[in-house]
Amino acid sequence: MLTKRIIPCLDIKNGRTVKGVNFLNLRDAGDPVELAKKYALEGADELVFLDISATQEERETIYDLVYRVAEQINIPFTVGGGIASSDKVSKILNNGADKVSVNSAAVYNPQIVKEISDKFGAQCMVVAIDARHVDGQWLVHTHGGSKPTELELFSWAEKMEDMGAGEILFTSMDHDGTKEGFACEALAEMSSRLTIPVIASGGAGKMVDFKEVFTDGKADAGLAASIFHFNEIPIPELKSYLKEEGISVRI
């Protein structure tokens, strides 16, 4: 049985880690380099670093911060935000990241996913999808969740797999920051349609939420931010709980 992964997420704005609710009302959550080091020592399986304002501000990801984070950790490290070309991917990987995450750029140019996957390998290519449930269907949003599209979540995820994505990182905007549990029904539907791993994001608040996202949601990894940043759920305790509940995790 493949082990399930626990992944802290560093949402970065102006060089600091931030966290909000439903993508709004951001508050400071600490220094990303120190947090990354802490999570690696605590047993996080991977780390995700999202420069959440890079696309909106039409600028590149903060490469020096990527480098400083990578120096402090020994676990797989994914970087996203403002990535719209394979040249930027080279810079990010050269600064110590193991994977890149593409979100808005994939919507406007799906070919970028194939280009990155062909050049660097599908194992490097994570497609992040932010979606909200609107009038009975899940619709993809771009630019940090601020711009709705007409793309339907599940068919878009399938297209991204076909284009060469190695993983899908799905964030439910409706659940983000609410601490009321993941979008397990949507996650299970997505997992049933794809052959690549699905990372669940949005809604973690209690340890049981992770158990449910792995059992009911069929997710391969659970990603969270504020519960880790503000020491509400220590990663070692979470993993011990999941193991006791019969979930295969790396201790």
pLDDT given at position 16: 77
Active site residues: 11, 130
pLDDT given at position 26: 59
Q: Tell me whether residue 81 is in a domain.
A: yes
Average pLDDT of the chain is: 91
How many Å apart are CA 85 and CA 202, to the nearest integer?
27
Q: Tell me whether residue 130 is in a domain.
A: yes
- CATH code at 166? 3.20.20.70
pLDDT given at position 144: 75
Q: How many domains does the chain have?
A: 1
Give me the helices (H) in the chain, please. Answer: 32-42, 63-72, 86-94, 104-108, 111-120, 153-163, 184-193, 207-215, 226-229, 235-244
Q: Tell me whether residue 251 is in a domain.
A: no
Q: Tell me whether residue 249 is in a domain.
A: no
Residues of the chain with pLDDT under 70: 1, 19-29, 53-61
Domain carrying residue 56: 5-244
How much is the pTM? 0.92
pLDDT given at position 91: 93
pLDDT given at position 170: 98
Q: Tell me whether residue 250 is in a domain.
A: no
